Chain A
Amino acid sequence: MEEALLDIQDLVIHYEKRNGAVRAVEGLNLRLKRGETLGFVGETGAGKTTTALGIMRLLPVPPGRVVSGKILFNGENLLDKGEEEMRSIRGGKIAMIFQDPMTSLNPVITIDEQIAEMIALHSGLSHRDSISRALEMLELVGIRRERAGDYPHQFSGGMKQRVVIAIALACSPELLIADEPTTALDVTIQAQVLGLMKDLRRQFSTSLLLVTHDLGIVAESCDDTAIMYAGRIVEYAPTAELFGNPLHPYTRGLFNSIPKITGGKGDLMTIPGLTPDPSNLPPGCPFHPRCGLAVPECSSGIRAPLEAGEGHYSACPVTLGGRR
């Protein structure tokens, strides 16, 4: 098998609290091939941001702690790297975009200086050359030169997210992690920003891990899709395959619960119950208490995802083979 750019193996991340551990990520396996876009989908609290912060080594420690597992990037385990080395990887080979652009922007520095600073840090270019590269980046994301000396608060939400994209891509990272990059934006602005990310990703041959809860975005922009539930990947497949032939009962439930623009007006299908509390996960398959197809074996033991077809993995043995 071709070496993946990012290969996460059996990752376990907990937040340790006085009254017990929050098991945010519980044995997660995920591969991102070079040059591809992987959609990473799940509801609030599934553990998406924790995983992303884990890759970046930006978890709040304590209470966060990587309990076990490996995060291989170009074959090297990021969890073995020293802080010094991580600092040069962050913003260099791996960049991250957050939902709130102000997480990444400094309110008291003009945007051209912010981008130039990042470029100088990773490339060793002079200040002057870094500034001119910064202006080129701003142009690429559709921000006119006249505005380069403005401060972040002088920009709208959509424009700020463009600036963040310019910063993230300034050093041509191999991997870009975008955590709900358009969730706070209006739909027409979201379309602009996603279009921009698509173009630039090609231009810079950057691989993308796109965290989102919007299945529409995944369908339109991701090669592969991973569905996360209660700290685990429950299903993983090429996007068209996943949407055409969803296997895991949670994936099916998720797809059925969204109103479709082409759909009728009848009641939506719902999944009974709530997502489990990660400090008190049920034994066995974390979805079994809500699952209409559960059999007694589902409440004990965790099974590794099974290959259902070419590149299509599902953690549910009951629906495997499409029999149910």
Chain B
Amino acid sequence: MTDTDALLDVRNIKKIFDTKQGPLHAIDDVSFTIKKGETLGLVGESGCGKSTLGRVLIRLVEATDGSAWFGGKDIFSLNGAQMKQMRKRMQIVFQDPYSSLNPRLNIADLIAEPLIVHKVCSSASDMKSRVMKLMDMVGLARRLHNAFPHELDGGRRQRIGVARALALDPEFIVLDEPVSALDVCIQAQILNLLSALKREANYTYLFISHNMSVVKHVSDRIAVMYLGKIVELADYESIFDEPAHPYTQALLSAIPIPQPGARKDRILLEGEVPSPIDLPPGCRFSPRCSRREDICELEQPELAEFKPGHSVACHVFARGGRYQGTYAPQDQIK
């Protein structure tokens, strides 16, 4: 059975990498759904497992455990040929457009590549017209069709990445830090492009980023990850207005606000993120948490809904419903 509303239904996914130092728990028991046409933002600091999760969902990396249902199909059980068909419907855009593009291919060839691999064009002229149409869609001037990636700025290279992802007319796109390597002016252009495309074609996005302001701007709902686990999940307004998890609160309070005098105080976290090889036994955030109680060091908290659409994984919150003096960033902006 799957959630009927959901285009993507992810259940109890785990990914363990075998490393020299021992098993590395990159994703540990992650579940969520994404509705058709929805954008789910995935935030968290580097190494918390965002990219691994994105790659697992489209099977660029195989999950260790769990299942993912896409349009009612269990994608982890598909064989190679079936997965190839499925891949037309699920695409990814990477952070660094430069390293993900073959430097020897020009723009037209790069955009044609997925069309060729999936043999979707009836003729050379069909292919050419599809490539040109894709270039129009992502705002690349047609005259650039025989330019090479190294001749272009980062924003245009990212437009190529987006065009390649759109080539097969997918339903679902994983956007893995698509604007993190770009300057703010170019970032704004790409964010506008992604929302315009979505308005036109009703794409479903998993938008991965470590930048909270960007994620808030693009997402309908936001999942906050810490060391391989989702610690909080809610609509974008609730995450910012009433963050429930102490980590979400600290993360929000750490964002520098471009408005002099706006920030009154800041929750400074002690120490750094522990290694995903040598994990603390209880709540993974407990070693850095100022609200830690005994139970936090013993038992892992479950992600549980405490009001419709807002889930959190925190023992202290679950017990009290609320902390003393809950912090909301809005309180801090004059």
Task: Write the residues of chain A forming the contact surface with B, with a CB cutoff of 8 angstroms.
Answer: 43-44, 156, 158-159, 186-192, 194-195, 213-220, 239-240, 243-244, 253-255, 257-263, 265, 267-271, 274-275
Chain B window 55-75, contacts with chain A (Cβ cutoff 8 Å), 1 for yes, 0 for no: 000000000000000000000
Chain B 205-216, CB-CB to A under 8 Å as 1, else 0, gives 000001011101
The one of B214, B240, B256, B329 that contacts A220, using a Cβ cutoff of 8 Å: B256
Does B261 touch A at the CB level, under 8 Å? yes
Report whether A269 and B272 are in contact in the complex, using a CB–CB cutoff of 8 Å: no
Once the chains bind, are B251 and A188 in contact (CB under 8 Å)?
A: yes
Q: How far is the CA of A257 from the CA of B268 in the complex (A)?
A: 28
Query: Which listed residue (A43, A191, A214, A262) contacts B266, Cβ 8 A?
Result: A191
List the 7 closest pairs (A to B, CB-CB), nearest first: A216-B256, A259-B217, A257-B188, A186-B45, A268-B188, A215-B258, A191-B254
The majority secondary structure among interface residues of chain B is helix
Q: Is the CB of A261 within 8 A of B256?
A: no
The 8 Å CB contact of A187, one of B184, B216, B255, B262, is B255
Do A187 and B258 touch across chains, with their CB atoms under 8 A apart? no
CB-based contact B188/A216 at 8 Å? no
The interface residues of chain A lying within 8 Å CB-to-CB of B329 are: 261
Report B's interface with A, CB cutoff 8 A.
45-46, 153, 155, 183-189, 191-192, 195-196, 210, 212-214, 216-218, 240, 250-251, 253-263, 266, 268-269, 272-273, 329-330, 333
Could you tell me if B260 and A219 are in contact, using CB atoms closer than 8 angstroms?
A: yes
Closest A residue to B329 by beta carbon equals A261
Kindly identify which residue among A43, A220, A265, A274 contacts B217, using a CB–CB cutoff of 8 Å: A265
Q: A216-B258, A270-B188 are in contact. List 17 more A-B contacts (CB 8 A).
A: A44-B183, A186-B210, A187-B210, A188-B45, A189-B45, A190-B256, A191-B266, A195-B266, A213-B184, A214-B256, A216-B256, A216-B257, A217-B256, A239-B260, A257-B187, A259-B191, A267-B195
A220–B257 touching, CB < 8 Å: yes
Let me know if B46 and A186 touch, CB within 8 A.
yes
Q: Which of B216, B260, B273 contacts A240 (CB 8 A)?
A: B260
- Cα distance A240–B329 in the bound complex, in angstroms: 21
User: Given the complex, which residues of A lie within 8 Å of B192, measured CB to CB?
Assistant: 267-268, 270
| Assembled-state Cα–Cα distance A191/B212 (Å) | 14
Most buried by A among B259, B263, B273: B259
Would you list 11 pairs from A and B whose C-beta atoms are within 8 A, ordered by A residue?
A: A43-B185, A190-B256, A191-B254, A216-B258, A220-B257, A220-B260, A240-B261, A244-B260, A253-B185, A254-B184, A275-B183
